[in-house]
Amino acid sequence: MSERTTTRAGALRRLGLLLGGAGVGAAGGFAARSNAGSTEAAAGDGATRLRLRAPQLAYVDPDATPTSFLQIPSRLVGAAKLTDGTGRMSGAFTGLRMPAGDGGLELHTFTLDGGTLMGMGPVSGPDFSIVGGTGQFIGAAGAYTMEHRAASAGGDGSADFVIDIARGEHSWH
């Protein structure tokens, strides 16, 4: 797990963004209309691939205080700006790590031009599932990987995301 300095208000605001975009509907041509990240056709299945980078991503315990450092956190919250392959700002990422099962669950929100993608997977990642979207990403499905080079583990703090959005014809509502 990584480190990050943040305020409680900022963490709660990001958590609200994460939980606020839970609507899903019928899939459409969302990938072709998106300006988020560098877009390319993915191999084989008609999916669209987005490559995004968080130049600086760290997770922090939003309840931490100088006297609570011995307590195990109930959750960790992370947030970062996202860039595309050229370094242009493309949106924002928020993440929530919480205990669940044998290791924990991560919930992710990618706030991009024209909509939001939501994903989830095990804390031990790197593989995650797209579980829905809003705006241009309504009905989104697919998968993505996250390579996080956490500063607390000797990395530079950056994270790379390769997102494959499947095109579907199913109604999810």
5 pLDDT above the threshold of 50: no
Residue 105 pLDDT class (50, 70, 90 cuts) = very high
pLDDT-based confidence at residue 15 (cuts at 50, 70, 90): very low
Of 93, 125, 121, nearest to 105 by C-alpha is: 121
Mean of pLDDT over the chain: 76
- Dihedral sign of CA atoms 78, 81, 85, 87 in order: negative
34, pLDDT greater than 80: no
Among the ranges given (124-133, 147-156, 164-173), the one the predictor scored with the smallest mean pLDDT? 164-173
Whether the Cβ atoms of residue 25 and residue 133 lie closer than 8 Å to each other: no
Greater model confidence, 90 or 32: 90
Q: Which among 114, 70, 118, 74 has a CA at the least distance from the CA of 95?
A: 118
